[in-house]
Structure 1
Amino acid sequence: MTVLILTSDQDVTADMAVVELNARGIPVLRLDPAELPGGVDVSGEYAHGVFQGHLSVGGRVVSMGGLRSIWVRRPGVPAARARAASAWLTEEASQALYGMLRCTDARWMNHPDAARQARHKPWQLWLARECGLPVPATLITTFPRVARAFAERYPDLVVKPVSGAHPGDGALAVPTTRVRPDEDYRDVAHGPTLLQRRVRKVADIRLTCVGDRLFAARAASGTPEVPGIPDIPDAADVVDVRFDPDAGPWRPVSVPRRVADAVHAYLTRSQLAYGAFDFAEDADGIWWFLECNQSGQFGFVEIETGQPIGRAVAEWLAGEPLGPHTPRVTETGSAGPAGSPRDTDPTRDTDPTHP
């Protein structure tokens, strides 16, 4: 049976899992919905109570009934590269492709419905707290007076986008930035603004979850705070690890049992098979939940830490172990293997899925 991977051609992270699957001899079909129709073609027949669907890529035809799993990795917008591209054709192509794939018995990483819900930051924050993860005080508002009142209660704030980078603009990544002390918050009236109490972090944590396996990594903050010395933000005070060249290096770290239990609960309730969690670790060792990206990259983690995340993904997609191997790092803690994050691409955790 075949593993279907929906992603762009130049996806190094997906390549890591493909290499593992190829080594095992497990058939893989990789396609980008942006190439539909033309480079990618679909066909589905509903007759006599039976559905039969087929996919074609580069002349290779695969039966949808023969799919063992579907990895919605980083697919392009359906029909985006079609000769007569249009919003109408995109909707038609999306309905056809994802509608047919939903008719299969394949396992999803992650199912389009679960992935769509998981993208909502307000819901993430609520679910994380429900599952027992510490969440910094957060406000999402378009009321300037409410923002000012929140800032009086929590004078040290950061501002970040509610949605992250826009799915249609992979080049757009808005960093998490500290709010100036003299901010009057009038601009929040122009659109929903997410304000959050700044965690005085000593490190960033990336926790990559593949099924029930956890890979955690830690990167010490590039500009540690010194107790007793005033810490005043300026206009360029970005606190986003993706934009901090002095952060790191990323190193494997054990997952605290309480965090592991909460993360497993989060994945179960959100129906995710894969999730990339970001935490800020404070001086007391508390991991504060920031977000969970249901299609976050892991390539930079594996490259920097040597953790076998690509193999773990491949095993989940295959539905079976891929045979004996020698881990490049020790998988620590009963919570699962260790893992980590790092990347030079600030857009690495945007979410351009269009199921």
Structure 2
Amino acid sequence: MTVLILTTEEDVTADMVVVHLNAGAVPVVRLDPADLTEGAALSGEYVHGAFRGHLSSGGRLVSLDGLRSVWVRRPGVPAARAARPSAWLTEESAQALYGMLRATGARWMNDPDAAHRARHKPWQLRLAQSCGLPVPATLITTFPQAAREFAERYPDLVVKPVSGAHPQDPPRAVPTSRVAPDADFSAVAYGPTLLQRRVAKRADIRLTAVGERLLAARMPVAADADPDEVDVRFARAASPWEPVEVPPRLAESVRAYLRGAQLAYGAFDFVEDADGTWWFLECNQSGQFGFVEVDTGQPIARTIAEWLSRPAVPRQARFRGADSAVC
């Protein structure tokens, strides 16, 4: 049976997993939904109470009945590269592709509906709290007065986007920034603003969850680090990432988060304070892991390949309401 990877053509992260799938002689097909109608095709037939479907991509034809898993890695917008792209064609293509894939017994990493919901940072923060993960005091508001009062209670704050990357082409990462002590919060009225108590961190933590397996890495903050460099993506690296054990109670909370979010994969970002507490910042449902694996040697790509290689869920079970995110 075949593993289907939905991603762009140039995706080094997916390449790392494909190497392990090939080594295990597991058939794999890559499809970028952006190629639909131009370079990729699909067909589904519903006749006499039965469904038969096929996908064609890169010269490969695969039966949807023959899919064991679908990895929604970094798919493009459906039909974005069509000869005459349009919002209507995108919606039609998305409905056709994902609707047919849902009719199979394939296991999802991650289920598209669960992944879409999991992108919402306000929802993430509340789920993390309910699962027992420490969350820094946070305010999301368009009330300038609420922002001022929050800053009085927590004088040392950072500001970050609610949604993540700015949707330009190509997308631009918006860094988390420290809020100046004399900040004027009047502009908060013009758009939702996320303010969060700055954690004086001694290390950054990246925890990659694949099913039940948790692989954590730690990067200490340099002793002479600028306290205004709060975003690990843009700060000077003091040292490589190193493997670290996950505290048992925190591991329980992370697994509870994954169950609550119905995710099979999640890249969690934490910061560690001087007391050793790991503070939850966010969980990216399709986050990168290559940079961690290169530094630490942790077998993240192999673990994902093993998860994707497991048997599919029988179709009858899917239509009895089986949860595609259960490991």
TM-score, normalised to structure 1, is 0.85
Shift of 1:191: 0.5
Equivalent residues in 2 for 1:204-353, closer than 5 Å: 204-222=204-222, 237-319=228-310
What is the alpha-carbon distance in structure 2 between the residues aligned to residue 12 and residue 135 of structure 1? 32
Query: 2: CA distance between counterparts of 1:221 and 1:280?
Result: 10
Deviation for aligned residue 1:57: 0.9
C-alpha spacing 1:258/1:169, structure 2 compared with 1 (3 Å): farther
Equivalent residues of 1:241, 1:247 under 8 A apart: no
- Match in the other structure for 1:149: 149
Distance 1:99 1:150, change over 3 A: same
Q: Does the 8 A contact of 2:13 with 2:289 survive in 1? A: yes
Q: Classify 1:16/1:280 alpha carbon distance in 2 versus 1 (closer, same or farther; 3 Å).
A: same
> Given the superposition, is the C-alpha separation of residues 192 and 111 from structure 1 closer, same or farther in structure 2, using an over 3 Å criterion?
same
- 2:217 counterpart letter in structure 1: A
- 1:309 deviates by 0.4
Letter in 1 for 2:251: A
Report 1:1-355 matches (<5 A).
1-166=1-166, 169-222=169-222, 237-319=228-310
Measure the CA separation in 1 of the matches of 2:183 and 2:74: 37
SS at 2:15's partner residue?
helix
Structure 1, residues 22-76: CA drift from partner, whole Å, max 9, x if none? 0111100111111111211011111111111100012221000110000000011
Runs of 4+ off more than 6 Å: none
Instruction: Work out the CA distance in 2 between the residues paired with 1:168 and 1:298.
Output: 24
What secondary structure is seen at the aligned counterpart in 2 of 1:241? coil
Q: Deviations over 1:216-266 (max 9, x none)?
A: 0001113557xxxxx9x7xxx341000012343111111101110100110
**Unmatched runs of 5 consecutive residues or more in structure 1:** 226-230, 321-355
CA contact (8 A) 1:278 1:289 kept: yes
- Report SS of the residue matched to 2:255: helix
| Corresponding letter in the other structure for 1:281 | E
Partners of 1:181 and 1:162 in 2: how far apart?
21
> Contact (CA 8 Å) 2:293, 2:300: kept in 1 or not?
yes
SS at match of 1:61: strand
Secondary structure of 2:233's counterpart equals: helix
Amino acid at match of 1:118: A
Range with greater deviation from structure 2 (172-181 or 246-255): 246-255
Between 296-305 and 216-225, report the one with greater CA deviation: 216-225
**Which segment drifts farther, 169-178 or 291-300?**
169-178
Assess if the C-alpha contact under 8 Å between 2:166 and 2:174 holds in 1.
Answer: no
Aligned residues: 311
Q: 1:107 is matched by which residue type in structure 2? A: R
Q: Distance in 2 between matches of 1:73 and 1:144?
A: 38
- 1:10 is paired with a residue whose SS is coil
- Structure 1: distance between partners of 2:169 and 2:199: 29
Instruction: Give the conservation status (yes or no) of the 8 Å contact 1:204–1:218.
Output: yes
- Offset of 1:304 from its aligned partner? 1.2
CA 1:107–1:166: 2 relative to 1, 3 Å: farther
What amino acid sits opposite 1:245 in the alignment?
A: R
Tell me, which stretches of 5 or more residues in structure 2 are unaligned?
A: 312-327
Secondary structure (helix, strand or coil) at the match of 1:104 reads coil
What TM-score comes out, normalization by structure 2 length?
0.92
